[in-house]
Amino acid sequence: MQDLQAKINLSIPVFDFIEQCKQQFNTTVILIDQIDALSQSMSSDRNYLHVFRQLIDNFTYDSNVRIIISVRTFDLEYDPSLKIYKEIKKIKVGLLSEAEVKAQLVKIKFPNDALSPKLLLLLRTPNNLNIFSIVYAKRTAPLAGFSSIQELYSELWLQKIVNTANSGIISEKLRSVLYRIASKMFAEQRISVSRQQFEGDHKEIAYLESERILKVDGNRYSSSTSHFMIMYLLKIL
Together in a domain, 13 and 76: yes
CA torsion 104-110-113-115 (nearest 10°) is -60
The predicted pLDDT at position 39 comes to 63
Residue 91, in any domain of the structure: no
CATH number reported for the structural domain that contains residue 200 in this entry: 1.10.10
Counted domains in the chain: 3
Together in a domain, 156 and 209: no
Residue 23, in any domain of the structure: yes
Q: HSE of 105 in the Cβ direction (CA atoms, 13 Å)?
A: 20
Together in a domain, 136 and 198: no
List, for residues 129-169, the tens digit of each pLDDT value. Answer: 988 998 888 876 667 678 888 888 888 888 888 888 888 89
Residue 80, in any domain of the structure: yes
Residue 180, in any domain of the structure: yes
- Does this model's pTM top 0.85? no
Together in a domain, 35 and 79: yes
User: Of 147, 162, 177, which residue is a domain's last?
Assistant: 162
Together in a domain, 63 and 113: no
Residue 206, in any domain of the structure: yes
Together in a domain, 173 and 212: yes
Together in a domain, 78 and 12: yes
Residue 131, in any domain of the structure: yes
The predicted pLDDT at position 7 comes to 62
More confident: 175 or 36? 175
User: Of 140, 162, 184, which residue is a domain's last?
Assistant: 162
- Name the residue range of residue 217's domain: 165-236
List, for residues 45-55, the tens digit of each pLDDT value. Answer: 567 778 888 88
Cα Rg, the chain, nearest whole Å:
20
User: Could you tell me what percent of the chain has a pLDDT over 90?
Assistant: 29
Q: Which helix (H) or strand (E) holds 217?
A: strand 214-217
Together in a domain, 154 and 174: no
Together in a domain, 126 and 184: no
Residue 235 pLDDT > 70: no
91: left (phi over 0), alpha (psi -120 to 50) or beta: beta
User: Of 146, 162, 178, which residue is a domain's last?
Assistant: 162
